[in-house]
Amino acid sequence: MPVNLIQKIADFSQEDVILASDANLASRRALTIDPDKIQAGPNGEKVVRSGVILYKIAGATKHRVGLRANLAAAVTASSTTSLNLGDIGKVYQSKAAQYFAPGDVLKVLRPYGSLTLTLTWDTDDTLTVVIAGQSVTYTPGSAVLATGAATVAAAINASPIHSKLVTAVASGAIIYLFSKSRQAHSLAATAATTGDGEVTVSAALLAGNTTIGTIDTAGVNVTAGTVTLAAASAVTLPVGAPVGVEGEPWGLIVGAHNAAKFDTDVAGFTGGAVYGDRLPYWDSEVAAALAQIYFV
């Protein structure tokens, strides 16, 4: 019978969190993390939270934790300099920004592209989307472009075909498509409308390895949960876009840790039963790398 592991994090002004059970816990070797890349809290603590992912940085002797987040506010190219990285979990009060540092190069973590609805659409008009050669026809169902885009995005995420390939996020009349892997899928779309409704495809392939910008000196605000770029964002992105710094998912950290006070050698688990809705961040690439971790 699995026994829940209660992570004692009261020392960090947080409540106890039941994150995982001891069923099938498996561990890789520890990595030495870089405490200088973790932003300090009000009492000087540099907290590695339960459920944070440990990342191996290629060519480095010290490694990182966190490093990935979903945008909590939209970003506009050539205009936005402050990125809101949001909270790190449902049960925590702290921010994802605490695991980022000045000089970090932020990227869109997965290849992505977009479909933009324009002109006049009727409720019976259809949109045929082809991703990686797989074609599905959707009905936006509204003359309001933002409503139609939201309907199509939800339908893509519910599609037994396209949901295996991408995650769709609607923002206004734009449907953003983020690959669920590092694969830059082909992308095409056609509109069948009774009026002049059209769809514009960003490119024939999802764009990969896209840089957003570099975090400026003193550019991390842990209280606000934001990072400030040295120059305006190079791209436009919606709320929910996956952003972060390159690193290989190495393990799931189960026990909370103060890197300012204790040893910086940290072990990450590669398997076990975890409450998925209590994790600070999770995506399909992390899931593939830590394939023996399952949610309960």
Q: What pLDDT score was predicted for residue 51?
A: 86
- Cα distance between residue 62 and residue 24, in whole Å: 28
- Cα distance between residue 280 and residue 55, in whole Å: 14
- Cα distance between residue 26 and residue 113, in whole Å: 37
Place of tokens 């390159």: 246
Query: How far does Cα 261 stand from its chain's mean position?
Result: 29
Q: What pLDDT score was predicted for residue 91?
A: 54
- Cα distance between residue 294 and residue 271, in whole Å: 7
The answer for residues whose C-beta is within 8 angstroms of residue 137's C-beta and 6 or more apart is: 126, 127, 128, 129
- Cα distance between residue 240 and residue 284, in whole Å: 14
Q: Count CA atoms closer than 13 A to 60's CA, side-chain side.
A: 15
Q: Do 99 and 40 meet the contact criterion of CB atoms below 8 Å apart?
A: no
Phi first, then psi, for residue 27 (nearest 5°) are -130, 140
- Cα distance between residue 85 and residue 39, in whole Å: 14
Q: What pLDDT score was predicted for residue 88?
A: 77
Q: What pLDDT score was predicted for residue 272?
A: 84
User: What is the pTM for the complete model shown?
Assistant: 0.88
pLDDT, tens digit only, all 296 positions of the chain: 344 554 444 444 444 566 666 666 777 778 999 999 999 887 788 888 888 999 999 999 999 999 999 999 999 999 999 999 998 765 556 789 999 999 999 999 999 999 999 999 999 999 999 999 999 999 999 999 999 999 999 999 999 999 999 999 999 999 999 999 999 999 999 999 998 999 999 999 999 989 999 999 999 999 899 999 999 999 999 999 999 999 999 999 887 788 888 778 888 889 888 888 778 889 989 999 998 888 87
Residue 150, amino acid: A
- Name the nearest CA neighbour of 248 among 271, 270, 272: 270
Q: What pLDDT score was predicted for residue 11?
A: 47
Q: What pLDDT score was predicted for residue 170?
A: 97
Q: What pLDDT score was predicted for residue 9?
A: 44
